[in-house]
Amino acid sequence: MKILVCISHVPDTTSKINFTDGDSKFDTTGVQYVINPNDEFGLTRAMWFKEKQGASVDVVNVGGAETEPTLRKALAIGADTAIRVNAEAKDGYQVAKEIANVVKEGSYDLVIAGRESIDYNGGMVPGMVAEMIEANFVTNCISLELDGTNAKATREIDGGKETVSTTLPLVIAGQKGLVEESDLRIPNMRGIMMARKKPLTVVEPTGATVETTTVKFEKPAPKGAVTLVAPDNLDELVSLLHNEAKVI
């Protein structure tokens, strides 16, 4: 069984976010990058299939050379090979089209992607990939078991969970629950050394159309000042809630 895990190269959640060019471009200065958390859950699950069922695991990213350290980390965790599509990721359709081409070229049985990336939170890529390669698709996936070409997946739905049975080829959009945070793997020294020798293939893009353009980013409004009220001064508290906060 061949598994392809989609890896997004995203800013660490502790990074300070700024924009340039009239708030139309993300400022990468001083920003640390990591594997997208939802993708890391998927990669860890793929490693389980590798160890228990003998699957091969490749990782793919659409991006420039700056994303290669993130791919090398995925290799250090245990992926067999990495593929970088040499194109700037500009929108969900373009990324999905490039990944779909990799899937077709590699004849993968299972594609694991994160439900969404934590930078743009579009949540579009996995579903579009499934449509483009004509594969079954399960989103919000929190459990996946494989038996030959049969799959059983559990996904979150409003108010509960749903378990479905399907067959390969399959695309899933995973999230926390696919594995738990305690199951995530930290590359050890042996894995890091081995990752240097594993193949990282750079392929040229197909020239997929970019369908959307970012016009402007806007930060959330800063938090307002905190007003402290003495616990025995209920009249002032009521007045502030009524006249300033206007919640009563």
Query: What is the predicted pLDDT for the residue at 154?
Result: 98
Query: What is the predicted pLDDT for the residue at 49?
Result: 97
One digit per residue, pLDDT tens: the chain, 248 residues?
Answer: 999 999 999 999 888 889 999 999 999 999 999 999 999 999 999 999 999 999 999 999 999 999 999 999 999 999 999 999 999 999 999 999 999 999 999 999 999 999 999 998 899 999 999 999 999 999 999 999 999 999 999 999 999 999 999 999 999 999 999 999 999 999 999 999 999 999 999 999 999 999 998 899 998 888 878 889 999 999 999 998 999 888 88
Query: What is the predicted pLDDT for the residue at 244?
Result: 85
Q: Work out the number of other CB atoms within 10 angstroms of the CB of residue 193.
A: 11
Query: What is the predicted pLDDT for the residue at 225?
Result: 83
Query: What is the predicted pLDDT for the residue at 61?
Result: 98
Query: What is the predicted pLDDT for the residue at 248?
Result: 86
Query: What is the predicted pLDDT for the residue at 42?
Result: 97
Indicate the burial class of 247 (C-beta count within 10 angstroms; 0-12, 13-18, 19 or more): exposed
Domain edges within the chain: 2-219
Domain 2-219 falls under CATH 3.40.50.620: yes
Query: What is the predicted pLDDT for the residue at 13?
Result: 87
pTM of the model: 0.88
